Structure 1
Amino acid sequence: MGTAWASMGATGHSSSVSPVQATNALQPPGATPIRARMWKFSLPLRHPDTGRLFADIDHLSAGLQRRSIDRYMWLIHDRDEGSAPHLQGALRLTNSRTSTQLSSILGLPATALRPLRDRSGQHGAFERYCRYLLHESIEAQEDGKFHYSDSAVHSNFDFRDMIDRYFGFAASGCVPTVESTDQIRLKVYNGDMTPSEVHALHPMIFIRNHKSLEELYHKGRHDREIATTLAERAAREGESASDSSAEIRAA
């Protein structure tokens, strides 16, 4: 049956439900279960009134070792002002699953699981949410959220390298760059950056623009060659005109 969870019913009293029961309660009759490869989860550590433990960390940790889970990252948020201590994280699967399946694997109630989706026209939902979990962005700091250190994270991959590469942070000090896509494209056209360097520093920009970046790189090199040829021709014509003027004055 899985771990039992305390939930507040309509009467205000706590009742014990299994993760699968909670999942079934959320699904309208006859509805097709939602399947996704990326999920986020959030769960209070304890019941605010009774102190009953909500998060079964041992069950979660064991479930995350499944080979079907490609990447995961989670931590306990217990320093946020005005927010009760809670467990929060994200995971990426090798194949899509339903919340019912994940609920059983991780020992989490369905109410704690939500599909992690990319915003319209934008990729990188997993990368952005992993960074959000640390509250290290300027926006999070302006909202007064506590900046959690990397040492507070539980994960099975190098999340710091992923975040830094996705957001284009410099290796020294993790200082964020402020370059826009247009600025990067201009650098490629001017020969100040190659498409390979864009791939290494700004992987998502490269993925979304790799064809145009290659075209810009070659077009920029071609245009610079033409500009150099024209400049050399103008210089030769200038020298020729100068020599002719000198001959006329000598005559």
Structure 2
Amino acid sequence: MDSADPEPTEVDPGGNQYAEGGKWHYAEQIKGRIFTITTDCVHPDTGEVLLTVETIEKRLSKSSVEYFAWVLHDKDCFTESDLEGNPRAVLGEHKPDHFHVVMQLKNQASVGQVARGYKLHPGCVRKKEGQGTFLDCIEYLTHEHEKQQKLGKHLYADDEVHSNFDWRMAVDERVAARKQGFHSGAAAKKMKIRLAVMNGQMTLKQVREDEPGVYVQDLEKLQKLQQDFRLHQPAPRHRTNYFIGGMAGDERKGRTGKTQLAKLFARTLFRDLDADECYYVATDPRVPLQNYKGQPVIIWDDYNALDLMEALGGRSGVWQVFDDHPSATDVNIKYGATRLVHTVNIITKTTPYAEFLDGLAGEYTDKSGKQHKAEDRNQSWGRFPVVFEVTIHSIVMLLNRGFVDDTDDFLAYEEVARMRASMREVCAGLDSIEDDAEREAATYQVGDFLLRPMLDQHANLQPVASRKATEVVGELLSGIEILDGEALEKDAKEEAGRASDLKRLEAEALAHAKTIGAPVEYLTPSGQRAAMCPDGVTWGWTNGSPLHLVEGGAR
């Protein structure tokens, strides 16, 4: 495997050499799924670059490639085994740097197809077949086999081998099975399942149900591979946050079915998943995400503002996990870390929403005794487009006015729906259904009907990615203005003039309000207060301009 045919110096002699009757037509007849490539980096006579790392990485990233491993052999010297039939070989001298690539494709291909993809002579490509052959070829990449070491070949380090799976674990198991005389079928099956878990194609629940023997024997490694899969996932494009709490002034705030509502909402949003695959319930703030397994919904059950900040390492951690356009977020768990890939947060608490949201942004003292100053309330209120007030007999849905009006003022909600129902009775009724399949079907039927306003609003909040990049970029660039030099100085002067005019107008409005003795106050654009007259007439502003005597009060 150390070298390709001496002949492959000619990449394409001209014409379609792969057509019938062509010099390389034979390569179209040799088909398989496992291939190796061996070629010098540079042509020994012409100096032409034959293959590069960039080309290898580009070709192996194609969706047609299932598994691969490759290495650059740049420390080899000619051994006695290389001398026969190779006039260029000189014992002990450095061999030309060369690549070895091993790949397993998802579907059959021909030697010619592979060679053309890499722009190589077909003699550089070999089809391989046989049980365990793929791992045997990968074992060769380091020259670790006893035969290669006896020949005096350089031993390459594991980190010089590039792969899209845990090749070291696979090769070690293959070698162990070979030494013990075991048939490689069981090892190949175990490796296939491991790779499926690592690539997110199979869950641990599926392994447990479909392959209980492998699950029992290999659970620890499978858990690590599932964790590895999550750590390599990109952040979701969008995340939506909901708060389910009690109603202000309602004496009965506990045991009204808030957690049951959260679970039913999650199941109805992701109806193709079982409950344990659909949502994760975080309970203990000390280890809130220890058993998180990549579920799309996290329910923060009975968390107050301080609990949430303790669980996520402070207020900045809350802002990060509850960001509606999240970055990749890794959180520490016992013996490692996990990545949050969920798209929905639901907080349940008996507290009314205003008290909870103000607590998130307000002044607080952490468990170490350090005091933290209050932050802008928009930071917390603006992260929750929808909140719910749950009583014994109803569910009230409120929508943040900042989202309704598409503004940056998020400090108010308006009621948009009211569902008259008792969540305790709903859950008790569903639990009373004996047949599992019938109960599952009934859960979705009731959820679709009861939660229709919630489901509709969730759909409305999701971004629609349907536009072409050129259209969006053109639109954005046309709305961007860059000021520098004289233009910047002019804009600064104009801004100062506008600020001065605004202060003068506010002063006039305040003087007018004082003259008429208005008892009710409203914030003006600069943060001062304008007053409403006793007869309901207000002096205020619209878009920074004075608004004289507006009927109905400031809005």
The structure with more radius of gyration? 2
Q: CA deviation at 1:95?
A: 0.5
In the alignment, structure 1 residue 129 sits paired with structure 2 residue 137: yes
Matched AA of 2:128: L
Aligned match of 2:40: 44
Q: Give the one of 123, 135, 138 matched to 2:146.
A: 138
Note the alpha carbon deviations across 1:76-101, whole angstroms, 9 max, x for none: 11111113211112100010101222
| CA RMSD, Structure 1 to Structure 2 (Å) | 3.5
Deviation at 1:135, TM superposition (A): 0.4
Letter of the 1:134 partner, please give it.
T
Deviations 1:87-134 (A, max 9, x none): 11210001010122222333333221110122xxxx200011100111
* Residues 118-163 of structure 1: CA deviation (Å, up to 9, x unaligned): 2xxxx20001110011100111100111111111112111111110
Take 2:14 and 2:60, find their aligned partners in 1: how far apart are those partners? 16
Equivalent residues in 2 for 1:1-251 (5 A)?
17=12, 23=18, 24-28=22-26, 33-82=29-78, 83-118=95-130, 123-168=131-176, 178-181=179-182, 203=187
| C-alpha contact (below 8 Å) 1:141/1:147 kept by paired residues | yes
Q: Return the alpha-carbon distance in structure 2 between the equivalents of residues 156 and 145 of structure 1.
A: 26
1:206 positional shift: 9.6
Q: Secondary structure at the match of 1:115?
A: strand
Q: Is the 8 A contact 1:8 1:15 kept in 2?
A: yes
Distance in 1, Cα, partners of 2:41 & 2:132:
28
Alignment-mate amino acid for residue 57 of structure 1: V
Would you identify which runs of 4 or more consecutive aligned residues in structure 1 move more than 6 Å? none
Unpaired runs of at least 5, structure 1: 1-6, 170-176, 185-197, 208-251
Q: Distance in 2 between matches of 1:33 and 1:75?
A: 28
CA separation of 1:48 and 1:74: change in aligned 2, threshold 3 A? same
CA contact (8 A) 1:37 1:96 kept: yes
CA–CA distance in 1 between the matches of 2:14 and 2:134? Answer: 24
Q: Which runs of 5+ in 2 are unaligned?
A: 1-5, 79-94, 192-555
Measured against aligned partners, the alpha-carbon deviations of 1:17-61 in whole angstroms (never above 9, x if no partner) come to 279956552225xx9621100001100111223322111332221
Other structure's SS at 2:29 match: coil
Normalised by the size of structure 2, how large is the TM-score?
0.27
Residues in 2 aligned to 1:180 and 1:114: alpha-carbon distance in whole angstroms: 27
Aligned AA (1:179): Q
Q: Conserved in 2, the CA contact under 8 Å of 1:19 and 1:110?
A: no
**In 2, Cα distance between equivalents of 1:179 and 1:16:** 44
The residue identity in structure 2 corresponding to 1:155 is S
Q: Following the alignment from structure 2 to structure 1, what is the Cα–Cα distance between the partners of residues 122 and 166?
A: 28
Question: How many Å separate the matches in 2 of 1:78 and 1:19?
Answer: 32
Structure 2 Cα separation of the partners of residues 22 and 148 of structure 1: 37
